[in-house]
Structure 1
Amino acid sequence: MSMTFSGQVALVTGAAAGIGRATALAFAAEGLKVAVADFDAAGGEATVEQIRAGGGEATFIRCDVTKEAEVKALMERVIAAYGRLDYAFNNAGIEIEKGKLTEGSEAEFDAIMGVNVKGVWLCMKHQIPLLLAQGGGAIVNTASVAGLGAAPKMSIYAASKHAVIGLTKSAAIEYAKKKIRVNAVCPAVIDTDMFRRAYQADPKKAEFAAAMHPVGRVGKVEEIAAAVLYLCCDGASFTTGQALAVDGGSTAI
C-alpha cells in the first residue's frame, strides 16, 4: 500500500492537542507540510514546535471554525504559505454535554452544533474549491461512534456526529467524479486530555471506559492518526463516503 505524501500539504483543525496534534505530527513525519489550525494559539504553536523539532515544516493559523470569515481566511493563508492543499482533517470539535436530553440548554446545543457541525460544513465549503482547482484531494472529518448509534446523556453531541457523517457521505457523492474523496473517522473513547479530565480522577470510571471496548482498553491518539493517514493515502483511493469506526470493537457488539 502506498503511503507516499512527499511534497504535499495537509491542514488539520483542532490541532492544539489530542487527536489533532497526533495527526499533525503523523502527517509531518510522512514528509508533508502541515497547516496547524486551532482556536487555542498556545497549544497550536506548541504543536508546530514539536513538528519543527522533528525536522518537519508547519505553520500555525488561529481559526474559529464557527465563523465563515475566519475559515475563508484560513484557507487563503494555507495557499499563501504553501501554494496548495492536498489533504484536510476537519477535527475541531467539542463535547460539553453531561445530562439527559431534557436537561440540556440552548447554549449547549448552539455551542456543540456550531463547532461540530457548522465548523465541518464551513471547512469543507472552503476546502473543496481548492481541491477542485488542483484536480483532487482527500478530506477526513472527525465523527464518533456516537454518530453510529445512541449516546445516552450525550444526545446533542450524538446528533452533531450523526450530522458530520451525513455531511461526509453527501459531499463524497457530490464530488466522487472530481477525484475528491471524503471520509470520516469514528473514534470510541480515546486517551486524550478530555478523557483524563472526565475519567481518570475516578478510577472506577476509567475502568468502565476501558471495559466498554472488547480489546480491554481505551484507544490511543496515534491510532486515530494512523486511520486518518490511511484514508488520505493512495492506498485508500477506492474508499470514499465511509464512516470508519476506530473503536476497539465496541460497535461490533
Structure 2
Amino acid sequence: MAGRLEGKVAVITGGCSGIGLGTVELFVAEGAKVVAADIQDEKGAMLEARFGEQVRYAHCDVTSEDDIVAALNLADSAFGGLDILFNNAGISDRMGAITEVTAEGWDWIFSVLVRGPALGMKHAAPMMIARGGGSIINTASIAGLQAGFGPIAYSTAKAGVIHMSRVAAAQLSRQKVRVNAICPGLIATSIFGASLGLPREVADQMAARVEQGAASVQPVPKAGLPDDIAQAALYLASDASAFVSGTHLVVDGGITVGGRHSWDTASPSPFVQMFGEDSPFAPPADPAPL
C-alpha cells in the first residue's frame, strides 16, 4: 500500500533532532523525499547515510535568508520540487520577568521563531504554487495560547506564529497552498536544556526528566514524544487535511483544558476553596472501575 506522502517532497527545518527528526523518519516511512535542514552537520551526514536517496541534508541557520533559500532549492534540484514545508526549527530562552529581557535576546528569539518561518513561507509558496499546491506547517506552542508555559519572549513569538499562520493561510489558500500551525505541549526533547546552552548530554538528560514527569501534570497520563507531533504534521501534510487551513492543532495531552482541578479530583477548585467541600461546586467522585 502506498504511503500517505508518496511522491511528495518536504523540507523540514530543525530536522536532525527532536520533533524534526521524528518527522523526517515518519515522512520517509510514508513515502516522501525529505530535505532535513539544520545546523547539526554531523547528524545531517548520518541522516543521509541512513536513508540514502530519500533524504538530503542542508546546512540551514533559519536566521539566514540565503540558507533558507538554499535548503528549498535543494528540494527542487534533488527531488524535483516542493510540496511540504515544516517550519520546525526552534529555540527557547530562560524563564524570567519582562523587566529582565534584553533587546538582543528578544530579537534572537523572534529571528528564529517568527522571521525564519516567515521567510520560509515567502520562498516556499511560489514553488508550491508551481506544483499546483502544497502544505506549510509551522511549529507554534501552547505557550502561545496561555501564560505559564514558557518564557515571555518565546511565548509571545509563538503567539505570533499562530496568527502569522492564519494570515498566510488567508493569502495562500486560494492558490491551493494550505498553512496551519501545531501547538505542542510538554514534549520530551532536548530543547529545554539546549536553549540554556547546556552540553548535549545534559540537555538529553533534561528531555528524559520531561518524559518521566509529564504524565503526572496533564490529563493524558503519558509523556508527549516527538512522534506525537510528527503524526500531527503528517496529517496536516497529507491529503487527509485537504479542507484544513488557517488553524492550529493543539497536541498537548490535554494540559490546556483547564486548571488542574478540572481533571484531578484531588485538586480542589477555587470555588471549593471558597465555599467548602459540601458546596454545589464540589467535583463528583471518581467513577467506580468497570
* Comparing 114-123 and 210-219, the one that deviates more: 210-219
Distance apart, 1:70 and its partner CA? 1.8
Question: Taking structure 1 as reference, are residues 228 and 205 closer, same or farther at Cα in structure 2, changes over 3 Å only?
Answer: closer
Residue 252 of structure 1 is matched in structure 2 by 257
Alignment of 1:1-253 (within 5 A): 4-52=4-52, 57-151=54-148, 154-195=151-192, 197=202, 200=205, 209-253=214-258
Structure 1 portions without partners, runs of 5+ = none
CA distance in 2, matches of 1:214, 1:34: 34
Q: Output the TM-score relative to the length of structure 2.
A: 0.79
Distance apart, 1:233 and its partner CA? 1.0
Distance apart, 1:212 and its partner CA? 2.6
Of structures 1 and 2, the one with the larger relative CO (CA 8 A, separation 6+) is: 1
CA distance in 2, matches of 1:15, 1:190: 16
CA distance in 1, matches of 2:144, 2:153: 11
Distance apart, 1:5 and its partner CA? 1.7
Distance apart, 1:32 and its partner CA? 0.8
Structure 2 portions without partners, runs of 5+ = 194-201, 259-290
CA distance in 1, matches of 2:88, 2:54: 20
Q: Output the TM-score relative to the length of structure 1.
A: 0.90
Question: Taking structure 1 as reference, are residues 3 and 110 closer, same or farther at Cα in structure 2, changes over 3 Å only?
Answer: same
Is contact 2:188–2:211 with CA below 8 Å preserved after alignment?
no
Query: For this pair of structures, how many residues does the alignment match?
Result: 249
Amino acid of the structure 1 residue aligned with 2:127: L
Distance apart, 1:98 and its partner CA? 2.3
CA distance in 2, matches of 1:38, 1:199: 18
1:116-166 deviation digits (Å, cap 9, x = unpaired): 011110101100010111110101110000111213661100001011111
Residue 279 of structure 2 is matched in structure 1 by none
CA distance in 2, matches of 1:78, 1:94: 24
| Higher Rg of the two aligned structures | 2
Question: Taking structure 1 as reference, are residues 153 and 125 closer, same or farther at Cα in structure 2, changes over 3 Å only?
Answer: closer
Across the aligned residues of Structure 1 and Structure 2, the Cα RMSD in angstroms comes to 2.3
Question: Taking structure 1 as reference, are residues 131 and 201 closer, same or farther at Cα in structure 2, changes over 3 Å only?
Answer: closer
Distance apart, 1:209 and its partner CA? 4.0
Distance apart, 1:35 and its partner CA? 0.6
* Comparing 147-156 and 121-130, the one that deviates more: 147-156
What is the identity percentage for the equivalent residue pairs of Structure 1 and Structure 2?
Answer: 39
